[in-house]
Amino acid sequence: MNIQAELISIGNELLSGRTLNTHGRDLGNTLGLIGIDLMRDTTIPDDIPTIALVVGEALTRVDLVFVSGGLGPTVDDITRDALAKLLDLKVVLDQPTVDYLKKWYAEHGRNITLAATRQAQVLEGAVVLPNAVGAAPGQRIGFPDGKTLFVLPGPPAEFNSILSGHIIPWLRKTFANARPRLVRVVRTKGIGESDIVTILEAADFHAAGVDIGFYPGKGKVEIRLIADADDKARIADAEQKLLALLADYLDLESD
């Protein structure tokens, strides 16, 4: 079962460099653990036509689309409006979220404002995913073709809270047959990438069905082997060949 996902992060502050976007790292790692591949990580500005275009294109490519950011109370929080236009859906007020916000603001010694209630707006028909650490909830929207759109707030703590508390349990149940890909790591030291490649080419090293990646840093090179869950024999064979070819340069202290 090959389930693919894309992430679309929305926010001018991400593109300007004022805010570090960690969603791709967190989502990719989390999805990988349950056997879902994150295929693209795209960051776009707060612009309704751009949001509608990019999300619409993503929905034609993959099974799961994650959209983050632009769900706050300010005038530049336009993600709901863009998605409503794309999907021809109304934006409605979710009363349980309004009640939660009233309580949340009261606990912080504040009165809820009309602008604040904007965070309780969701797309009509969406499954509302409560936000345990913030204001705006997440949303899950299913389509007749089996694809699913997730809409999440931008702040990392809120994004990850909804992801772990609501989305991952749903994904595990929905895609119960999905299995994480196999990963093997060979670490080297005292040799550069180009020299490693030279050794592998001289030995005519091939690993059919196994993806290989090189990650250099601080005088070391990490070689990652990735294969489908059913390819245990292939990845084991590739790992043993690498260990033999690079025996003089293995970084055993990192194991």
The domains located in the chain, with CATH, are 3-174 (3.40.980.10), 182-254 (3.30.70.2860)
Q: How far does the chain reach from its first CA to its final CA, in angstroms? A: 31
Q: What is the pLDDT of residue 104?
A: 85
User: Average model confidence (pLDDT) for the chain?
Assistant: 94
What is the 3-class SS of 163-178, one letter each residue?
Answer: HHHHHHHHHHHHCCCC
Least confident of 54-58, 109-113, 232-236: 109-113
Express each pLDDT in 197-243 by its tens digit. 999 999 999 999 999 999 998 889 999 999 999 999 999 999 999 99
Q: Where are the alpha helices (DSSP H) in the chain?
A: 12-15, 23-32, 48-61, 79-87, 95-107, 156-162, 168-174, 193-202, 232-245
Express each pLDDT in 183-202 by its tens digit. 999 999 999 999 999 999 99
Q: What is the mean pLDDT of residues 122-145?
A: 96
